[in-house]
């Protein structure tokens, strides 16, 4: 979970509901995966 630290919103628990916290975790994961895919496509 170290990569979640890069997303400042997930550094602290600011969310009131578990649904919004889960949504932000999904958004951070999507960001990470799209960056990895973009890096892959650039180098191939």
pLDDT digits (tens, 9 = 90+) for 1-44: 555 556 666 556 666 788 887 888 888 889 889 988 988 777 76
Q: Looking at 1-44, list the stretches that DSSP marks H as alpha helix, in order from N- to C-terminal side.
A: 18-43
What is the domain partition of the chain in residue ranges? 16-44
| Contact between residue 13 and residue 20 where contact means Cβ atoms under 8 Å apart | no
Distances (CA, A) of 35 to 12, 15, 16, 18, 23: 23, 25, 29, 26, 18
């Amino acid at each position: 979970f170290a990569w979640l630290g890069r997303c400042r919103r997930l550094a602290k628990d600011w969310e009131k509901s578990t649904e919004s916290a889960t949504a932000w975790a999904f958004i951070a994961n999507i960001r990470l995966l799209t960056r990895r895919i973009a890096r892959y496509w650039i180098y191939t």
